[in-house]
Chain A
């Protein structure tokens, strides 16, 4: 009887231990630990704009981000981003780092033949301390090739520091459509609730 039981245990045990599902599930369930637990802002997308959000990526990067794509424009999309960069996020050391890297070109210049960055202004946004700046940059449309085709992109940034990270509200548009959709962005910024 004992031998029979032992045989059953070993056979059954081996069969189950080899189940690839168990190993795969354990690996998948390994704690990421970096997921942002709750949405830190609520915004109202402009009518007709397409909203995308990559929740899987948010968990890995500690960056909550909404992308809103507006009507098609000359050579580049019109986009609005609303993002919260949590402490320890994978991209920036803090709001100062974000501002430093987005308010100058890679050479540290604020003016070049193809780029223009405004000074960073301190402002108040919905009663919170915030920073505002804008830029105008020539972007290549096919940078993987020798193509010189380009478009001038204008961007507006609002950066709002928070205790455990910072918020960024960002408007991205080809220069030709910038003014047209700027009121939409301003309305969007005014209505965003940052928590």
Chain B
């Protein structure tokens, strides 16, 4: 037995030794491979760097696909990894942006998209595209097979001198030279301001409202340069002109004395007065159209006191309204988990609602609510006293509430994970999907909601837009993300574009920091911004203030954004969830619409 045990021990020892030897050899081989990889890495990196320096987008794609190399580089030289990834992501993003089938009248959106990417201190500038916008054209000619139409569209979008000033030939050479030193952003600001001045003059002075004049306003090329806020005012002006003209056509000439020579806002007030005196026998829909298009009179605005009361009441009514829907329950669960819901009613300018991360408030547009009250002939006082009326208003604003609450949830997710999350198209894809899903479910299962929107869509663009958004989602959930990117939020950066800009700014700053003296570095580490403050910064604020952020937080942001999967998993998960939920909801039997709309 002893000899047997001895033999076994010997065999075991021999096997163990052999096993360990084999394992050691395998390890040595692995080391050898890694050493070889190291050698290959250097050669590959040099090639990538050279290609990225010439802004070659196919090299950028190949580099980003080389995940093994990037992962090794992240460990050995994180700053270099961040710089190269930023440049590569920015090039791929630019290529993808220009590959989209932009239509001619999307010139303002394309211009805003390019302005975000081609500017000072962006990764594209480091790749030699910008900040002078004209540098984009030779890059397009070298690397893309772009049609003549698209190249011409890009020339208009970057506000090329010859395109903007068609009489540019006679301009002094220094005017053109100075123009070409400006960025797209600066050119757009300049042109938008000039266009708005013309629009303002028309609104304040011009009494004409006829069809010929409306066409003249529509054809005015200058107005394509208006910024989104100016564009909103321009659209409202057109609506007012059309509404005033329609109403005036139904009135005897004698009633128009004292009205027709007034600027548009005064005409709208005076025409509204005629309806209120009830001796004008027009269709109810005409009055609703006029009420929808005009501004509120002093008595129709929401007083400070009533505003506070209404905001408080909506804070209770909105969660109750959205619960028992797939998207709504997600939001309600979030607030029931201890998150604060703070509703405010304020002017939102060219939007219907917004989430304000700095204050944590969801702001509902006061104009939208006042329009609702005007169209439905309700005063704020009546609304506050009548639970049914308040519930109807909660229904009306609930799709936007779901949308903005989802933005609040996005911020909470990033805060909880301690991540910096730039505001990107992906956020809007998520929020719009949730809003569209919510609207689709409510239209299917809540008769009052359905009748409210069916009635309001004729007088309110807000109501019609909510229906159209949900319809687009319902028609093709698979295409919805691309629609949101291309049609709705072309002026927002994609996650790739935003992360590329941040990585580029951060890696440049870390490089600069190494050249600083010890005293300067100590100063930054002592007084630099804290992580809590940094996480609240917007994209331009962050890229513009990297010099004042502590090194450890810059490195943290760099590390977070290099690991794209953390963000991508969340975005893809939510979009897929909304599509699946829509199918689940559609599986249920719909309610029958009532015969007469409630309004």
Contact = CB atoms under 8 A, between A and B. Distances in A.
A12 B31 contact: yes
A97 B584 CA distance: 12
Contacts of B236: 146, 148
Contacts of B238: 148
B462 to A, nearest CB: 8
Contacts of B48: none
Given A25-B67, A148-B238, A6 B101 contact: no
B3 interface: no
Interface string B64-97: 0001100110110000000000000000000000
A5 interface: yes
A72 B104 contact: yes
Contacts of B465: 140, 143
Contact of A143 (B16, B72, B443, B468): B468
A106 B103 contact: no
Given A25-B67, A113-B458, A5 B21 contact: yes
Interface residues of A, number: 58
Contacts of B586: 93, 97, 101
A146 B476 contact: no
A78 to B, nearest CB: 9
Interface stretch (A13-21, A126-134, A182-190): A13-21
B468 A52 contact: no
Contacts of B17: 1-2, 5
B68 A148 contact: no
Contact of B27 (A13, A77, A92, A105): A13
Contact of A69 (B101, B471, B477): B101
Given A9-B23, A63-B478, A146-B232, A73 B101 contact: no
A180 interface: no
A107 B443 contact: yes
A149 B484 CA distance: 17
A71 B428 CA distance: 29
Interface in A59-77: 61, 63, 67, 69, 71-77
Nearest to B453: A107
A164 interface: no
Contacts of B565: 27
A159 to B, nearest CB: 13
Contacts of A50: 101, 147
B351 A145 contact: yes
B67 A28 contact: yes
Given A27-B565, A71-B149, A114-B464, A102 B475 contact: yes
A143 B462 CA distance: 9
Given A5-B17, A90-B579, A72 B149 contact: yes
A102 B213 CA distance: 38
A2 B20 contact: yes
Interface string A143-160: 111111100000000000
A147 B236 CA distance: 7
Contacts of B335: none
B424 interface: no
Contacts of B468: 106, 139-140, 143
Given A106-B440, A145-B350, A9 B67 contact: no
Nearest to B351: A145
Contact of A12 (B27, B440, B458, B461): B27
A169 interface: no
B499 interface: no
8 contacts: A8-B27, A11-B27, A27-B565, A79-B101, A90-B580, A140-B468, A142-B228, A143-B465
Interface of A: 1-2, 5-6, 8-9, 11-13, 16, 19-21, 24-25, 27-28, 48, 50, 52, 57, 61, 63, 67, 69, 71-77, 79, 89-93, 97, 101-102, 105-108, 113-114, 139-149
Given A107-B467, A142-B228, A143-B465, 12 more contacts: A12-B30, A20-B71, A21-B68, A28-B67, A57-B478, A61-B478, A79-B101, A93-B586, A106-B468, A107-B454, A143-B488, A145-B351
Q: Across the A-B interface, give the 5 residue pairs with the lowest CB-CB distance, nearest first.
A: A12-B27, A69-B101, A106-B471, A5-B20, A91-B478
